[in-house]
Structure 1
Amino acid sequence: MAKNFLELIIGSLDDKKRWRAYRARVKALPAPYRDSAEAVERYLMNSGGIPNDGARLVGMFSDLADLFEQAAADGTPVRDVVGDDPVEFVTEFVTTYSDGGWIAKEQERLKRSIDKAAGEDEPS
């Protein structure tokens, strides 16, 4: 009961443990991979394009760590992981974990509004 109440206030303790594990994994990466993973993380945190569900968010970052750990183990250059356009890489990466968020809802709302204004809305 106390755990549920506490989690209601501060969020999932399991998600927090998984987040700390992710951060430790990234910190253990060799420099170019660590620096790249941290840069992607920083971009995601500042761009606002991340899932707002804690479990999905932590899962996304855990997969990011997997990606860079595997690249480091295989000796794959960072540029081969993220490509020539890191922004495009991050956009594609986060799409897998997102339900579209508010922007997808607003895009749908815009389309419906224009359809309605143009007399193209379907009767319900």
Structure 2
Amino acid sequence: MTMSDAEKGGFLTKVIGPKRRWWQYKARKEQLPPNYRTAVEAIERYLMHFVPTDGDSNASMFEDLADLFEQAAADGTPIREIVGQDPVEFVEAFVQNYSEGGYVPARARKRLTDAIERAAGEDTGKEDKTV
């Protein structure tokens, strides 16, 4: 049994489509100013580990994240104006548009919060004891 050209096209779109969108997102992220890129990478890491979604939802979510930070960088919007004082709350609200979310350990929440503090240029004087 062989696939028709139409079936192959649908299959390839499912396999390659999200990957292509992912690489386009990664290229956009690399063009951000360093502190915005650091914030996006922290959010990305958090999302990748703790937010279950499908490939299309992931692609849309990361594209929207890039849109948000590109616009903020262009406008000179401080990182804290984007994510607020609680980056975990920001990400959990952001992701509700794409999935039902999932369980997130406290360690991951702290790691995200610390990374955003560094990206926002805040010296908390706290020692990071997470491994």
TM-score over 0.5 (shorter chain): yes
Superimposed CA distance per residue, residues 47-72 of structure 1 (whole angstroms, 9 cap, x where no aligned partner): 2x231x21111000000000000000
* Pairing of 1:1-124 with structure 2 (within 5 A): 1=4, 4=7, 11-47=14-50, 49-51=51-53, 53-98=54-99, 100=100
Identity %: 51
Amino acid at match of 1:50: P
Q: How many residues align?
A: 100
Give 5+ residue unaligned stretches, structure 1: 104-124
1:46 positional shift: 1.4
1:28 positional shift: 0.8
Larger helix fraction of residues = 1
What CA RMSD, in Å, does the superposition of the two structures yield over aligned residues?
2.4
Note closer, same or farther for the CA distance 1:16–1:87 as it changes in structure 2 (3 Å cut): same
Superimposed CA distance per residue, residues 23-63 of structure 1 (whole angstroms, 9 cap, x where no aligned partner): 0000110011100001000011112x231x21111000000
Note closer, same or farther for the CA distance 1:20–1:87 as it changes in structure 2 (3 Å cut): same
Give 5+ residue unaligned stretches, structure 2: 104-131
Compare relative contact order (CA 8 Å, sep 6+) and give the higher one, 1 or 2. Answer: 2
Note closer, same or farther for the CA distance 1:32–1:56 as it changes in structure 2 (3 Å cut): same
Per the normalisation by structure 1, the TM-score is 0.70
